[in-house]
Structure 1
Amino acid sequence: MEAAIYTAHMATRKPPGHKRAFECLTPAEEVTHPRQQRMWAVSCKCGWRDPGPYAGLVAAQDAYRAHIQRAYDERVLSCRRCGEVKELPRRLVQQGHHICADCEKERQDDWRTKNQERYHRSQRNATLKKKYGITVDDYERMLAEQDGCCAICPSTALEESKFFHVDHCHATGRVRGLLCNACNRGLGQFADDPDRLRTAAAYIERYQ
């Protein structure tokens, strides 16, 4: 009987020139149920083959992963950017970037230089998402709803700094609005206590 061959890519998590193939060793006439456990062999485009036999695809996949691991451990590839033959970082090879660490840093620096606005926006987006759970688009929407001013006073962002402070409740983490530096520090000094703020407002009005 002619063996059935099943091929599949392992995404980018393999060195160049590798592609797996599973060979079913169980004759078709012996398969009586779709879920019947079959015997498998596994091979690779690079010429490696493990005849097994392995009981089930999972065991054959594990053998192929071990082969790929050895390929990584023994890899000595040439950098596509500088052309030098050297040890390449495994992380970069797995991501499909077959370049050395120095060239990768140079590539990233070049990209940041050419895409400064996009880079800074992505960095600010990551910071807002991590600290407050909002995105740059959310920030810009809130700023538009406040007519470009502080949520408490008529100060604008351009008067003090490039961005407003994102005011949030320290107990619940809920974002309340965008404040200028003075208002944000003022609320912090009063510990976000409405009663203390009302008392302070009455105190000031009493002596005006």
Structure 2
Amino acid sequence: MRDGLQAYCRECAARYHQARQLARGKNVRPRVGAPEGHKYCRTCGEIKPHDEWPRNSSASDGLGTLCKACKAVKGRQHHLKRSYGLTEAERDAMIGSQRGLCVICLKAPAAHVDHCHKTGKVRGVLCFNCNSAIGKLGDDPDAVRRAAAYLEGNSWKPILVAPGVYQLPS
């Protein structure tokens, strides 16, 4: 209208809109009343205080559409699918086949998906330390063998053959 106001109040306009959507055969979600300072999460079905919601400046209430807990779960699922092509069930099956342990150290629980950086193929699920160690060694089997030999006490120092020319022991 010219004065900047609508002809109907918010509640009446919302009821009218819902009735029109139902008449068109559209799915209308029922409104869930939440106390002041709280919001209803449609994913987990709980009413949570505003401090358990991420900020979203473009939303009318300034809060996200998913609570922080649901957003974290969805983010983990999306990361597994996007990065490794796995679902959580497939990852859990891999962990179960390893009896829940890292296949390298056999001590820590397996929690991190290990994959080849060249091909993208998933190799297994390792603990954080073993996964990062393989990554720091550049996914190079020869570097891993040299590291194992070093730990066993074998010297892998390069041998000077000529000035500026070194040979690694075989």
| TM superposition score normalised by structure 1 | 0.44
Structure 2: state its 5+ residue gaps. 1-7, 15-20, 49-66, 155-170
Counting helix residues as a fraction of each chain, which structure ranks higher? 1
Letter in 1 for 2:45: W
Q: Residues 200 and 111 (structure 1 numbering): CA distance in 2 closer, same or farther, change over 3 Å?
A: same
Q: Map 1:52-91 onto structure 2 (within 5 A).
A: 83=11, 85=13
How many Å separate the matches in 2 of 1:140 and 1:184?
17
Q: Map 1:22-41 onto structure 2 (within 5 A).
A: none
Counterpart of 1:197? 144
* Alignment of 1:111 onto 2:64: no
Deviation for aligned residue 1:172: 1.1
Highest Rg: 1 or 2?
1
Q: Residues 112 and 182 (structure 1 numbering): CA distance in 2 closer, same or farther, change over 3 Å?
A: farther
The 3-state SS of whatever aligns with 1:156 is: coil
Q: Residues 96 and 156 (structure 1 numbering): CA distance in 2 closer, same or farther, change over 3 Å?
A: same
Output the aligned Cα RMSD: 4.1
How many Å separate the matches in 1 of 2:47 and 2:78?
19
The 3-state SS of whatever aligns with 1:153 is: coil
Larger RCO (CA within 8 A; separation ≥ 6): 1
Counterpart of 1:129? 81
Q: Is the 8 A contact 1:164 1:180 kept in 2?
A: yes
Q: Residues 77 and 195 (structure 1 numbering): CA distance in 2 closer, same or farther, change over 3 Å?
A: farther
**1:183 pairs with one of 114, 121, 130:** 130
Q: How many residue pairs align between the two structures?
A: 117
The 3-state SS of whatever aligns with 2:39 is: helix
